[in-house]
Amino acid sequence: MSKNWPLWEIFVRSKNGLEHRHFGSLHAADAEMALENARDVYTRRNEGVSIWVVESKNITASNPAENGEMFEPAQNKVYRHPTFYDLPDEVKHM
């Protein structure tokens, strides 16, 4: 019985100065092969200058069903935004 190649998540930096962004996933036997496959699958047209690969099982994700508890606390904190503060019009650009 053969063993299946694990799944890897692929992150690509499209050019220096930009962050790595999630591009998709693929199967590979190990990290080195995941990098090589990622080059062929996701950067055939110069889409990247740097690739990260992470085995999918190592990613812990938040649960969308708990988005309420997770993200709502940020919603009623308007004082974190600059428009919350009243300034006279004479003060331009602050």
Partner 1 sequence: MYDELSYKLSTFYIAELIVGIKKKDIMSEKEVKNLEEIFEARIARDEKIEPKDWMPEKYRKTHIRQISQHAHSEIIGMLPEGNWITRAPSLRRKAALLAKVQDEAGHGLYLYSACETLGVSRDELYDQLHSGKAKYSSIFNYPTITWADIGAIGWLVDGAAIINQVPLCNTSFGPYARAMVRVCKEESFHQRQGYEIMLTLCRGTEEQKAMAQDALNRWWWPSLMMLGPTDAESVHTEQSMKWKLKRKSNDELRQQFIDQTVPQADILGLTIPDPDLKWNEETGHYDFGEIDWEEFWQVVKGHGPCNKERMSARVNAWNNGEWVRDAAMAYAEKKEANKLKEAI
Name which of 18 and 32 has its Cβ closer to partner 1. 32
Name which of 15 and 57 has its Cβ closer to partner 1. 57
DSSP 49-71: SEEEEEEGGG-----GGGHHHHH
Name which of 18 and 29 has its Cβ closer to partner 1. 29
Residues 26-85 that bind partner 1 (CB under 8 A): 26-27, 29-30, 33, 40-41, 44-45, 56-57, 61, 63-66
**Can you read off the two tokens belonging to residue 18?**
């930009």
Nearest approach in angstroms of CB 11 to partner 1 is 14
Q: How far apart are CA 31 and CA 57, in angstroms?
A: 13
Q: Which residues contact 62 (CB under 8 A, 6 or more apart)?
A: 70
Helix (H, G, I), strand (E, B) or coil at 25: strand
Positions that interact with partner 1 (CB under 8 A): 2-5, 7, 24-27, 29-30, 33, 40-41, 44-45, 56-57, 61, 63-66
